Amino acid sequence: MENEELSNKESGDNRKWKKIYFGVVAFLVLQIIFYYLFRKYFE
Amino acid sequence: MSTIDWIVLGLTLAVIVVYGIYKSRGEKNIDGFLRANRELPWYHVGFSVMATQASAITFLSAPGQAYSDGIRFVQFYFGLPLAMVVLCITFIPMFRKLNVYTAYEYLENRFDIKTRSLTAFLFLLQRGVSTGITIYAPAIVLSTILGIDISITTLLMGGLVIMYTVYGGTRAVSYTQLLQMCIIFAGLFFAAYMVVHLLPEKVGFIDALHIAGKLGKLNAIDTTFDLNNRYNIWSGIIGGFFLQLSYFGTDQSQVGRYLTGSSVSQSRMGLVMNGLVKIPMQFFILMIGTLVFTFYQFNTPPLFFNKVEEQRIENSKYGDDYRNLKLEHEQSYVVRQDHLSQLVDAVDEENEEKVQVLKSELLKQESNSQKIRDDAKKLMLKNNSTADVNDTNFVFLGFVTSYLPVGLVGLLIAIIFLASMGSTASGLNSLASTVVVDIYKRIIRKDGTEKTYLDASRWATIGWGVFCIVVALYAGRLGNLIEAVNILGSLFYGTILGIFVVAFYLKRIRGNAVFYAALVAEAFIVLAWWFDLTAFLWLNVIGCMLVVMFSWLLEGTVFKDK
């Protein structure tokens, strides 16, 4: 029972971290798009 | 600088030192001294990691670089968030699980003592010299701007850092870095506000961006693939990824920062924070540089920002030639005022045709001004072949001291000191950790007490502090060391990263194969640099791949049955 709880907690943690990593990469992509448009607009 | 500025500068520095000593009082064991007992929260880890990477030259150089070259430097950091994700997934859990003090300790666990010692040695060599330069680079700029001897600025910066780092170790480093980053951010926001405030009345923030953009300074994304172009999106994402992965994953000055986190999650959150904040921060600093550029379109900038070099040429036999160039330079700025004013109106009226005509006219004038600056630099080199003709580091502080109000000047000078102190403190702490944990405790004295190792750590910090100050004091006599240290980093980082990649991902490869592969790869990298085969950022990628390839080959052939 305890093992099952631990494993559930671990997989919940993993899901949380996967979402955070996805967020970091998505933010990078958005920034690159922003800088590209920023350049185009003001150039 | 006014008396008030000196007071602000002195107070800021004193507060940092006292705060560091106060927050780290009672540090009595080696774990507390080198890892802050692994009890710091994520925001401490995040700010500490950022303060370690952002040396004074970041705040001096970046605005100056944006002024002369635009904001394309921001691409250099595109690989950083990706590197943070890999570190969070692989490096942090492994270092935590093995309960290591230094990154190199893990290598003995995975391979053998010789691989650990080789990697620690490469780190000490590179970090020892580059920490000296971290002190030297801003010291030379500050001594020029403040008009005081460089040995005073060097000893002041080095001495203050040694005081709180020796007393409080890692905890003092982390606490002071948190405060330093807060002061740095506040100062930079004030500076940005002031640049916009000082623009002519009819020119707002958006107009300033239009002017900078039309003159090619907002060149943030360059999609052309060129191996010899230092800053484009590809070198930033691929080369930058490898460089940042090696720097954050294998350089003890950074590993030591996130080892202080109170759990795996706290260390990870600290690095995630760095991955999210670093690029916008760098973009913001570069934007300040472009705003300074726009400001100088309306207020004639100096022909050359380094006053010492300028005085030297003016007092030489080429003085009259230089003064003629200065006159030409001033006239070129008078001519463009009318065009700038018309450009702002045309942008407001959305008259695209007129904007394009004025843009090409202004670009012509800008290129003419650049030619005059180039001629001035040629004249300086003609007068003295060792003259420092790169004035990028003087642009921002030159603006600060000439145009910003009393008090803010002192604060911004203090920021440069703080930034240098932050990265120097991490450097000293990591050098001491590596010497004590990887050499003294592992090889020289295995049976010492807590007190023995704590004392050794303090003495090692003092020793490296003195070494770095000596490097800083002599750096000026050794030519362009700043560039040399950047290249030195890229010469070793790729190989060190390759060793760690093999350790983490290629489980069947053993110590002998990776050790000899690292030696062969290092020789290749040195040759590639010697024959100037590619821009230095790519050396990180090549070095890492060579270690992986050679160790895989050696393990499958020479060391197959051993």
Alpha helices in B215-261 (DSSP H): 233-234, 240-250, 252-258
Whether B474 contacts B174, CB under 8 Å: no
Which position has the token pair 């004038």? B365
- For residue B300, the SS3 value is coil
Partner residue facing B213 (CB), from A21, A28, A42? A42
CA distances from B314 to B141, B331, B393 (A): 20, 19, 21
With 0-12 / 13-18 / 19 or more C-beta atoms within 10 angstroms meaning exposed / middle / buried, residue B422 is buried
- For residue B261, the SS3 value is strand
Per-residue pLDDT, B199: 92
**Cβ neighbours of B213 in A, within 8 Å:** 39, 41-43
Q: Any CB–CB contact under 8 A between B287 and chain A?
A: no
CA B489 to CA B247: how far, in whole Å? 9
Buried b / exposed e along B159-175 (16+ C-beta atoms within 10 A): ebbbbbbbbbbbbbbbb
Whether B35 contacts B444, CB under 8 Å: no
Whether B114 contacts B515, CB under 8 Å: yes
**Cβ neighbours of A36 in B, within 8 Å:** 220-221
Pairwise CB contact (< 8 Å): A35 & B210: no
Which position has the token pair 């350089």? B251
**Residue B475 amino acid letter:** A
Residues with Cβ < 8 Å from B214, sequence gap 6 or more? A42, A43, B343, B355, B358, B359, B362, B363
- Chain A positions contacting chain B at CB under 8 Å are 13, 17, 20-21, 24-25, 27-28, 31-32, 35-36, 38-39, 41-43
Per-residue pLDDT, A6: 66
CA distances from B191 to B137, B184, B402 (A): 22, 10, 13
Pairwise CB contact (< 8 Å): A43 & B214: yes
Whether B395 contacts B289, CB under 8 Å: yes
Pairwise CB contact (< 8 Å): B221 & A32: yes
CA B115 to CA B113: how far, in whole Å? 6
Per-residue pLDDT, B84: 96
Partner residue facing A42 (CB), from B88, B210, B272? B210
Which position has the token pair 């300790």? B105
Per-residue pLDDT, A2: 62
Whether B264 contacts B96, CB under 8 Å: yes
pLDDT tens per residue, range B421-445: 888 999 999 999 999 999 999 888 8
Low-confidence stretches of chain B (pLDDT beneath 50): none
Per-residue pLDDT, A1: 56
Kindly state the percentage of chain A with pLDDT values over 70.
91
CA B465 to CA B457: how far, in whole Å? 12
